[in-house]
Amino acid sequence: MNDNTDIVTPSQPTHELRRDISVWGSYMWGYADVGADIYAALGLVIAAAQGAASLAFAAAGIVYIMIGFAYTELASAYPIAGGGQYFALRGLGDFWGFVTGTALLLDYTIDIALFSVASAGYVNFFLPYFGIDPTHFILTLGSLKINYLWLTESLIFIFFLIWLNIIGIKESSLFNEVIGAFDIFIESSVIVFGFLFAWKPEFLVQQWQMSFPTLHNFMYGSSLGIISFVGLESISQAAQETKRPATIIPRTSVTLIFTVFIFATAFSSLSLGVLPWQTFAEHIGDPIATLAHAIPYIGLIAGPVTALLGATILLISANSGVMSASRLTYSMSEFDLITRWFNKVNPKYKTPVRTIVVFSGIGIIEMLLSFMTPQAMDTLGNMYAFGATLGYLIVFIALIRLRFSDPYTPRPYKMPLNIKMRYKDRTIDFPVLAIFGFLGVGTILFEVILTHKIGRIAGPIWVLLGLLYFIYFRKKNNMPVTKSIKRNWEAHQMDVLTSAEEFDLAEEYRLALKERDEKLKRNGQTKPEK
């Protein structure tokens, strides 16, 4: 078959994933991923940005808010598994859909590895209470020094999450909901008691003045700061399994955006007003527990409790990574971006077992490789930031493009700050904030490439290897490489809204298309090709 767009696929994918996620479950899928990031990122960012860590978190947080608004609009308009990859596919075509999916897949597999390792790091906080020094479990292989205890704990956690996700999204979601609710309570308590009994604003100012980082270190810290906010797209990845997603997602996403922003900026400001930044640099594995332990009156109890919560919340963040990686690749296989071998749902559990096992396995490989570097956490953080920022950059372009190419799909939520403009005899709301979001993410991606030695090498190599596979797969199956397969997106969108039980939006969409077709007929124009 020639390299053109004359391939027609079915108008809809097979909706076999079970809708078991509630309002609270949707919120906790996002919180499980984003809310846990501060446990892993706090020590990394403070070690890099030093006295200006609060500024680094705030800069990354502002960009995150714009990313959050974009994902809220897109996920509520297109409530189907795939997240950013699907949005890019709809807006920019198959090639950029695949590139976005590849970048986000790097992010999700690293998520599995990074947060399993970070969770095990908090577990190790308790070992000295039992007379065990976790730093003694070192395996020396030439110049390599591998902490095999930490590595073994991380592996056990990943295998547990694979099993949990195979048995069902409902069970996996319940795991997130219970632990996440307890974590929100503990995090809030640490912040309140910390500011009341331990915070010294003059110490924060002193560290700002005396330990302000170099420009290179600040850029490195702020680029790492974005990993404190990565994961909101977990809500969109679970959209195909969420009840009434177009109604629920705007509520859960906007609430989550500001919850996480407040927590991240509060923790960074509190930390530098309680302890020297060097202390957190020495405790990259358990920074929140170190902070809580230093709070008077509650520190004796808060330190261990926070370490326990850190271990569990990071584990559910890794759990979100397993879910997101499997749903992303499930979606990519449905739309012929990767082999349809992954487009299979277990008949008993109604979960994509193949994608869960394979891509969690890739997370295990990434984790094993990171333990062969001097700092496993820092290595994984480098890769995490590259995948997220590249994917987000393309999503902003897709959002702008979809405002023009698909103005008829109902949008229960729109990004703030729009200006009206005429396009092909129709008024379009142009998303000004998306331009600022694009520039913000682009700046962070530039910082990642400039300051992350591993990220700027391994990240592009990952994308390049993915593209080589894409070229091979599409040519082997006589599909276009640089062009898109022709799809009936209108019938597909109607099916998505109907299967999600968003009947009012489906009717609104049907009437909008009918009005368009009647207008074209009056003007003697042909109906647009679907």
The reported pLDDT for the residue numbered 21 is 60
Does residue 14 form part of some domain? no
Does residue 403 form part of some domain? yes
Amino acid letter for position 29: W
**pLDDT above 70: residue 19:** no
CA atoms within 13 A on the CB side of 178: 6
In this structure, what token pair is assigned to residue 29? Answer: 């899928």
Does residue 529 form part of some domain? no
pTM of the predicted model as reported, rounded to 2 decimal places: 0.82
Does residue 160 form part of some domain? yes
Q: What's the domain count of the chain? A: 1
Query: Distance (Å, rounded) from C-alpha 263 to C-alpha 191?
Result: 8
Top pLDDT among 476 and 79 is at 476
Phi-psi region of 202 (alpha: psi -120 to 50; beta: other; left: phi over 0): alpha
Does residue 421 form part of some domain? yes
- Look up the domain containing 248 and give its range: 23-496
Q: Torsion angle, CA of 25/367/355/342, rounded to 10 degrees?
A: 150
Most confident of 182-191, 241-250, 326-335, 487-496: 487-496
Amino acid letter for position 25: G
Does residue 469 form part of some domain? yes
Does residue 513 form part of some domain? no
Does residue 17 form part of some domain? no
The reported pLDDT for the residue numbered 186 is 82
Which has the closest alpha carbon to 372: 200, 68, 146?
146
What separation, in Å, do the N-terminal and C-terminal C-alpha atoms of the chain show?
Answer: 21
Average pLDDT over residues 362-379: 85
Percentage of residues in the chain having pLDDT higher than 70: 88
**Local confidence band at 248 (pLDDT 50, 70, 90 cut-offs):** confident
- At 386-436, the pLDDT tens digits run 888 899 999 999 999 999 999 999 999 999 999 999 887 788 999 999 999
Query: Distance (Å, rounded) from C-alpha 109 to C-alpha 388?
Result: 11
The reported pLDDT for the residue numbered 172 is 60
Cα distances from 371 to residues 47, 155, 322, 439, in angstroms, run 20, 12, 20, 34
- At 214-229, the pLDDT tens digits run 999 999 888 888 877 7
* Cβ neighbours for 205, distance < 8 A, ≥ 6 positions apart: none
Domain at 358, CATH number: 1.20.1740.10
- At 76-128, the pLDDT tens digits run 899 887 788 999 999 999 999 999 999 989 988 988 888 888 888 888 888 88
Average pLDDT over residues 443-452: 88
